Copies of this chain bind each other. A is one copy, B any other.
Amino acid sequence: METLQLTSSDRTTFLRSRFFVRLPRSTVDSILKDTRLSTYEEHDVLFHQGDGIDDVFFVLSGLIRLYRVGKDGREADVAVFSKGEMFAENAMYLGRATASAEAAEASIVARIDGAKLRQLAAADGDVAQAFIEHLCHRGKMTEDLLAQDRLLTAPQRVASYLLGHCPNGTATSFSFRLPFQKSVLAGKLGLAPEALSRAFSTLRQSGVTVKGRMIEIHDRHALERF
């Protein structure tokens, strides 16, 4: 772990993010003044479930997965965060981290002083409002995953993820590069890596070709009907 300075590009990432975009520039500047940057290698653990952390984390580059660990040591992802996303804010109020966090690839993460942010939220209506909207959005993200797990088969979950990358318009075929390793996609969708492979095989009949991280969708409508 190495400590870095905030660049102007990092500052732009903050200013454009869902949480900070709602705040007056002076408030953002005051929050960013004490922010520390850390680099993480793939598999570095940022914190463990149950830790009494008092920082709020913000991804500047890379990918962080949040996961819980079962009795048998098996891990289950509960969220994956990429550039511009904030996480672990609920630990500030619940007292403890509800999940562990690990870098899923080399990442740069800003750590914002939680005590300061909590004070700001108590004193400043704008910050409180931004927190409320952020938490509503986060809650919906988790609810989406829960509903998806309970309603969709593995191939349907993958189809739904792929359709989320379809460009707007009437194109029936499109292709894109997975923004992360397939193991990360498996975790995000609540699937074992083998179940993800099987799902991709099943989707081949609906015109999905996978070469490494490149995914080609030849018939969007077939996926939609899946």
Contact = CB atoms under 8 A, between A and B. Distances in A.
Nearest to A135: B135
Given A93-B136, A131-B132, A70 B125 contact: no
Interface string A136-166: 1111101101110111100000000000000
A1 interface: no
A225 to B, nearest CB: 10
19 contacts: A68-B150, A68-B151, A76-B147, A77-B150, A78-B143, A78-B150, A89-B136, A93-B132, A94-B140, A99-B143, A121-B128, A122-B125, A122-B129, A132-B132, A139-B142, A145-B146, A146-B146, A149-B149, A149-B150
Contacts of A123: 125
A172 interface: no
Given A125-B122, A146-B78, A152-B70, A90 B131 contact: no
Interface of A is mostly: helix
Task: Sort chain A's interface into a size bin.
Answer: 35 or more
Q: Within the oligomer, what is the number of copies of this chain?
A: 2
Contact of A138 (B121, B125, B139, B147): B139
Nearest to A126: B122
Nearest to A129: B122
| A121, A133, A140 pick with most chain B CB within 10 angstroms | A140
A89 B150 CA distance: 23
A88 to B, nearest CB: 11
